[in-house]
Amino acid sequence: MTESGFWTHPLVESAGYFSVVVLCLVVAMVIFEIVTKYNNWEQIKKGNLAVAMATGGKIFGVTNIFRFSIEQHNSLFEMVAWGLFGFTLLIFAYVLFEFLTPKFKVDEEIEQDNRSVGLISMVISVGLSYVIGASIQ
């Protein structure tokens, strides 16, 4: 197999995309950890289902955006750039959700295991990931 043939082999490309997306997901989760006022993983360890739902929605949202990005782009650089752009929109949506709920603070409700708020947060992340992903060029 030639060197260029090795790098274009579907198994190698899949492993490459997988590795890069996992790395981007780790970065995204660190950024979400900074954006939220609670410690996601500590709350999940305590059994906080609202945090688990909200965090699961973020994980699904980020990976779904990258799925769309992989489908639309042939180069790794373009895939990452559009994926990170989509992730930025997802963070904006999270901030907007907090802003659009003036009667309560989303982060505080999720930290207190308000599962209704956790579920809505998850659905917003998942739902908007499809809209963001569909808009990726």
Residue 30, exposed/middle/buried by CB under 10 A (0-12, 13-18, 19+)?
A: exposed
Give me 78's structure tokens.
Answer: 């373009």
Distance CA(7)–CA(33), nearest Å, equals 35
* pLDDT reading at 66 higher than 60: yes
Domain count along the chain: 1
pTM of the model: 0.87
- Give the C-alpha distances (Å, rounded to integers) separating 25 from 21, 30, 76: 6, 9, 15
Per-residue pLDDT tens over the stretch 33-45: 998 889 999 999 9
The residue segments making up the domain with residue 15 are: 3-135
Q: List the helix and strand counts (H, then E) for the chain.
A: 7, 0
| pLDDT (tens digit per residue) in 115-135 | 999 999 999 999 999 999 999
User: Which residue type sits at 60?
Assistant: F
